Structure 1
Amino acid sequence: MITNKSQKNSNYHKEEIKTLPLLLQYHAKTKPKEVAIRQKRFGIWNEVTWKEYEKEASRFGSALLAQGLKKFDNVGILSENRKEWLIAESGMHLVGIIPVGVYPTSPANEILHILLSTDIKVIVCEDQEQVDKILEIEHRLPLLKKIIYIDHKGLSSYNNIKLLSWDKLLEDGIKKIETNPKVIYDCMKNHSAEDIALIVPTSGSTGPPKPAMISFKNIFFIGHASEKVIKRGRRDNVLSYLPLCHVAEQLFSVFNAMHSGYTANFGESIRTIQQDLRDIAPTIFLGVPRIWEKMQSDILIQSKKKNLQSLVLKKALKVSRKFNDPWKKYNIIFHIEKFLWEMIAFRHVRNGIGLTKCRIAISGAAPISQETLKFFRGLGMPLMEGFGMTETSGACTIQSLDKASKGSIGFPFEGVSLKIAEDGELLIKGGCVFAGYYKDPISTQDSIKDGWLFTGDIAKVFSDGSASIIDRKKDIVITSAGKNLSPSIIENTIKVSPYIKECILIADGRRFPSALIQIDFDAVANWAESESIPYTNFKNLVQRQEVFNLISKEIEIYNNNLSNVEKIKKFIILKKELDHDDGEVTATMKVRRSQIEKVFSSEINLMYS
């Protein structure tokens, strides 16, 4: 068992715990005019101060009370990231109501499951699109009292009695506060660190999402422990772009922002992330592996163009391999060479992706290939891998900038213990372990035993206290020859190719490993145009023999990084992109393997016939 040596110092007395609503009130009082939130609309960044943030949140929370809600009631939020998401969440915290995030990309049937399993009484919808989803399933939601909408465009003709605009709701909140100026104070008197702060649905990659309850005490533990590793400050800022219903985005845009008092920025949309990054130049940046893979792909594609700038970039990428170990001690000659390439190319690459001022970059939510990590580190990006899950309140381990780790996910936070069960499963103990699944004691008991969280991940803990994740326990496959293979290791190795967006390993009970490949449409389309290869759409492009040859060469290149038993022997290029609506991926774009194997069973059988 590995326990962080500072664990004995991480047991806090109740009165020392600063919960999220207490922190909001503290920031509003001590730095009322400093910027808490910045949001971009129509190309203009608008600022919200800590005082305004607290004022709007108080109005929202009071308005929910005016609607008849009470402490421990659950309210859903169905929206893209925006300032109203944070105002709604914080407003609920002030009055003891529990927010439940719902992915805005989810179809109505998935939304129904989450709302029913969490007893939602009110839901906040971003716009007409989300309202329509709720109205489609409204008759199956007996507890639903109100549907609050933020953007009124297209809703003027709707006459459902449950519909209520955001602006009208806040007016009700103002009236409630005028009638009872102490309404927030009275609610906060009964506030406890043991209260549930939010309910976060799990990803649902192996079954229906389960509603995980995270307490204010969990959040304080994570905020306090992560601050010692990341060394955050009030001058830091982040760009909020991953869904706020995902615990990883909550960690950086809410938990850490509140604990350190830094600014959370909301761009126009997920489609404008590159420009938004250049506008904001965040000092801390969290990216899921797909984000880092896409950035890497774009840089590699740029280096393949036939112009002077691309030739310099290609040379710089080759040289950068010398500098991809941030813990290595270099001599003066290396430092001089690195400085020169920093001036010539590296800083320009980082500026191009909007991360010029980023002092720590983090990859999380899924395993990332070592090749991708080294790629960015070589360019001067301090990219570290961390590990966490919904049930650990967002994070529990991370690589350190101060010292190298043998394990790929780094060291546990202060106060977190790791151990490996007899079957290789990673077990975690500490203040990060969640409070349980909402109204599901059986699943909770299956997940937490004697204080240990059973993660479902196969892992290895090293002598230096660090750890590596091998794969999900349910995902490990055994070939007909009895060889155990880790799909994520093989898939991440192949996905380093700029032309491959998704790789799904097929090997369980099979003679050899094969793969279903989804191309990166933008990258392959650009390549096809440069080679004067005509195409009309996605399906037409993947059916070109030239594209098959391209992907075949890419797999051959990256197969060299795998052992013989791991090498992809055959593959098929999918004729469509994997779709959340078709149940092939989750809202977080995690592959649903069992569903994919059913949908593409004929293609799979063809590879083994």
Structure 2
Amino acid sequence: MTSADVTRPSPGRETPATAAWRPSRVVTVPPAVPPVTTGTLADLVLDWEREDPGAVCFSRRDATGAWRTAGVAEFAARAREVAAGLVAAGVRPGDRVGLVSRTRYEWTVVDAACWFAGAVSVPVYDTSSPEQVAWVLSDSGAVVCVVETAAHAAVLEDVRAQVPALRHSWVIDDGGLDELVAAGRGVGEDALRAARAGSGPGTTATIVYTSGSTGRPKGCVLTHGNFVDLAANAHAVMPDMLDEPGASTLLFIPLAHVLARFVEVLCLSVRIPLAFAPDSRELVADLQSFRPSFVLAVPRVFQKVHAAAGHKAASGGRVRAALFARAEATAVAYSRALDAGGPGARLRAQHAVFDRLVYGKLRATLGGRLTRAVSGGASLGEHLGHFFRGVGLTVFEGWGLTETAAPACVTRPGDLRIGTVGLPLPGTEVGLAEDGEVLVRGIGVFREYLNRPEETAAAFRDGWFRTGDLGSLDEVGNLSITGRAKEIVVTAAGKNVAPAPLEDRLRTHPLISQAVVVGDERPYVACLLTLDEQALAAWGQLHGRPGLDLATAAGDAAVQAELQRAVDSANTSVSRAESIRRFRVLGQDLSLENGCLTPSLKVRRSEVLRVFAADLEALYR
């Protein structure tokens, strides 16, 4: 399946046969499903409708809180009606349609309407600031925009002068889609077929803006073929999860994130029912009532599930806290043993006991049917990977970027290498540059950064996309991500330190919410920590400190000692020169509100260092 000596060209941007340069090592997986040569994403809907019009494709909560299903024929009809409305409003093939909304059924209706109208959707996070909304819509040249709420409409109105191409907008909550349907009643099927007649696999389907963790967001131009081919080939390596009888999933990450868009397309391609969960505060209730068989999420979701289980145990007193700690250690040990010849009789017995006492209850909290998940967007961490597998929820870790239309690699059922992000997906090649930078080419790689030819050229080397991530390949070809090249800390002594491994280890501690390793041009490595408020309260109750909160924790000797133990544990994974010498607890968590997290919950390192500059300086006094 893999090879370290690849000479065949891959789909996507190809390296000329005469090119003098190539990565130091290449792992390639040939396409399991040949790249499509005709059609668009709209054909996924049309084919399903033609073959099984009554099949349920989507579910969402109605006004009473009950789940309401939509059959594929109902969905297809609604998408075509909205597409007709867009055409009636003057949207032409290739025009850009802004979309500002939470994850919900109407989001996907508008997305599919763009496919039917030959238009290009431009998603904007619903939490974006006015400046961000103005930038994405103006840079993309959006001619119309669909927003979710009156508040979004007000933001749009405030920045309208900065978006010169924008002509019309509609508000979902105010009946905007019904307005589009009414306006499009004079536009027939022939007009819609004509609108998408010039589209094909190489045509732009969407422009997804990077999360902006460094600098201004860039628009990644992604094609219909990127998504169609990627979904078909992902299906080929995950048949157990995707073809399971009664398979379904719950989508709760923002559809403005490329991973959620991939999930949307994957479900249409594989014909799996998908439910929408717009409010993350209701996630547990949604999981329990909808009961999906698998989910795809970012690591922060799994971190919060793990932390919540620990909080609940700690709030029950010392006995329950100790029971959970033993159960967690057993789950991790059991999972590790699966990779080392299998658990012994004693460990199997312990695992069976904790399955009745702890693991089964945790699985029930997640709906009871959830046995598989995929984590992507950042590193999950080895500890959490083993914990969840030991509990009975196998989390396959994937890796990709906006520029790769989501997954480029994923761990495989039957050969799960926890701690890696697995092999390339079929149709994808992964290589390493001389400095360890991960390079990719293949079916999912984007075409260009919109309006940025120089940056596009700089992002490729002889046809290989330069991801900016650093990594290594094991003997089989599984990729491990060790950090971002731009985030490498170089101390005053010239020592290069990758923050990610240390930060991942620290975030597994129940008290720690976020960790940011620092030390650029400083005499030693240090760390800024934020605490989980819920966990802190439970920990304080358990340790005779009721009422412990963020304001008092930084000066609490017992809390400091507990955090030092966490730092000491993390330091065992690195050399003395790379180890954290000092840490400081921040008075607030990193969040969207203070600008320190991206909408996909990645840390904006430069913003953290700006906002908490005084705390950073205090580490080196």
By the TM > 0.5 criterion, same fold? yes
Residue matched to 1:299 = 309
Give runs of aligned pairs for residues 131-170 of structure 1, distance below 5 A: 131-152=153-174, 165-170=176-181
Higher relative contact order (CA 8 A, sep 6+): 2
The one-letter amino acid paired with 2:511 is Y
- Preserved contact between residue 107 and residue 581 of structure 1 (Cα < 8 Å): no
Residue matched to 2:261 = 250
Residue matched to 1:352 = 365
- Preserved contact between residue 405 and residue 411 of structure 1 (Cα < 8 Å): no
- Preserved contact between residue 406 and residue 462 of structure 1 (Cα < 8 Å): no
- Secondary structure of 1:46's counterpart equals strand
The one-letter amino acid paired with 1:38 is S
- Preserved contact between residue 28 and residue 430 of structure 2 (Cα < 8 Å): no
Give runs of aligned pairs for residues 253-268 of structure 1, distance below 5 A: 254-267=264-277
Out of 47, 60, 63, the position equivalent to 1:39 is 60
C-alpha change, 1:203 and 1:377, in structure 2 (3 Å) is same
Distance 1:27 1:12 in 2: 19
- Preserved contact between residue 583 and residue 595 of structure 1 (Cα < 8 Å): yes
- Per-residue deviation, 1:562: 4.4
Please say if 1:56 is aligned against 2:82. Answer: no
Distance 1:604 1:309 in 2: 37
Out of 115, 138, 143, the position equivalent to 1:121 is 143
Please say if 1:12 is aligned against 2:35. Answer: yes
Residue matched to 1:227 = 235
- Preserved contact between residue 382 and residue 418 of structure 2 (Cα < 8 Å): no
Please say if 1:239 is aligned against 2:261. Answer: no
C-alpha change, 1:168 and 1:379, in structure 2 (3 Å) is same
C-alpha change, 1:504 and 1:4, in structure 2 (3 Å) is closer
Give runs of aligned pairs for residues 511-590 of structure 1, distance below 5 A: 511-530=523-542, 533=545, 538-539=550-551, 542=554, 547-590=559-602
The one-letter amino acid paired with 2:119 is I
Residue matched to 2:427 = 415
Residue matched to 1:608 = 620
Distance 1:48 1:365 in 2: 29
- Secondary structure of 2:295's counterpart equals strand
Deviations 1:59-79 (A, max 9, x none): 111100100110000011111
Please say if 1:368 is aligned against 2:380. Answer: yes
- Secondary structure of 1:318's counterpart equals helix
Deviations 1:340-396 (A, max 9, x none): 543443222211233x32242111101122111111111122112111111111111
Distance 2:122 2:249 in 1: 22
Distance 2:506 2:168 in 1: 48
Give runs of aligned pairs for residues 95-494 of structure 1, distance below 5 A: 95-152=117-174, 165-173=176-184, 175-177=185-187, 180-231=188-239, 232-233=242-243, 235-252=246-263, 254-267=264-277, 269-304=279-314, 305-306=316-317, 312-325=323-336, 326-330=338-342, 333=345, 338-354=351-367, 356-405=368-417, 408-494=420-506
- Secondary structure of 2:578's counterpart equals coil
- Preserved contact between residue 3 and residue 416 of structure 1 (Cα < 8 Å): no
- Per-residue deviation, 1:182: 2.2
The one-letter amino acid paired with 2:531 is I
Give runs of aligned pairs for residues 503-518 of structure 1, distance below 5 A: 503-518=515-530
The one-letter amino acid paired with 2:459 is S
- Preserved contact between residue 36 and residue 49 of structure 1 (Cα < 8 Å): yes
Residue matched to 1:91 = 113
- Secondary structure of 2:106's counterpart equals helix
- Per-residue deviation, 1:34: 1.5
Residue matched to 1:29 = 50
The one-letter amino acid paired with 1:28 is E
The one-letter amino acid paired with 1:422 is E
Please say if 1:500 is aligned against 2:521. Answer: no
C-alpha change, 1:121 and 1:543, in structure 2 (3 Å) is farther
- Preserved contact between residue 371 and residue 496 of structure 1 (Cα < 8 Å): yes
- Per-residue deviation, 1:218: 0.7
- Secondary structure of 2:430's counterpart equals strand
Distance 1:321 1:584 in 2: 31
Residue matched to 2:96 = 74
- Per-residue deviation, 1:311: 5.4
- Preserved contact between residue 4 and residue 414 of structure 1 (Cα < 8 Å): no
Distance 2:439 2:46 in 1: 36
Distance 2:278 2:253 in 1: 13
- Per-residue deviation, 1:491: 0.8
Distance 2:446 2:216 in 1: 19
- Per-residue deviation, 1:9: 5.7
- Secondary structure of 1:428's counterpart equals strand
- Preserved contact between residue 75 and residue 122 of structure 1 (Cα < 8 Å): yes
Identity of aligned pairs, percent? Answer: 25
- Per-residue deviation, 1:303: 3.3
Distance 1:188 1:270 in 2: 35
The one-letter amino acid paired with 2:190 is K
- Secondary structure of 1:14's counterpart equals coil
C-alpha change, 1:5 and 1:143, in structure 2 (3 Å) is closer
C-alpha change, 1:528 and 1:4, in structure 2 (3 Å) is same
Distance 2:104 2:213 in 1: 26
Distance 2:547 2:171 in 1: 42
Distance 1:494 1:579 in 2: 18
C-alpha change, 1:337 and 1:308, in structure 2 (3 Å) is closer
Deviations 1:514-554 (A, max 9, x none): 11111112211333355564659754665655544543444
Deviations 1:87-111 (A, max 9, x none): 0000110110011110111111111
Distance 1:320 1:376 in 2: 8
C-alpha change, 1:29 and 1:435, in structure 2 (3 Å) is same
The one-letter amino acid paired with 1:31 is D
- Secondary structure of 1:282's counterpart equals coil
- Preserved contact between residue 407 and residue 466 of structure 1 (Cα < 8 Å): no
C-alpha change, 1:546 and 1:395, in structure 2 (3 Å) is same
Distance 1:12 1:569 in 2: 51
The one-letter amino acid paired with 1:490 is L
C-alpha change, 1:264 and 1:581, in structure 2 (3 Å) is same
The one-letter amino acid paired with 1:266 is F
Point out where structure 2 has 5 or more consecutive residues left out of the alignment.
Answer: 5-24
C-alpha change, 1:520 and 1:9, in structure 2 (3 Å) is closer
The one-letter amino acid paired with 1:498 is P
C-alpha change, 1:407 and 1:331, in structure 2 (3 Å) is closer
- Secondary structure of 1:388's counterpart equals strand
| RMSD over equivalenced CA pairs, Å | 2.4
The one-letter amino acid paired with 2:522 is R
- Per-residue deviation, 1:277: 1.0
The one-letter amino acid paired with 2:439 is L
Distance 1:171 1:457 in 2: 48
- Preserved contact between residue 97 and residue 145 of structure 2 (Cα < 8 Å): yes
Point out where structure 1 has 5 or more consecutive residues left out of the alignment.
Answer: 153-163
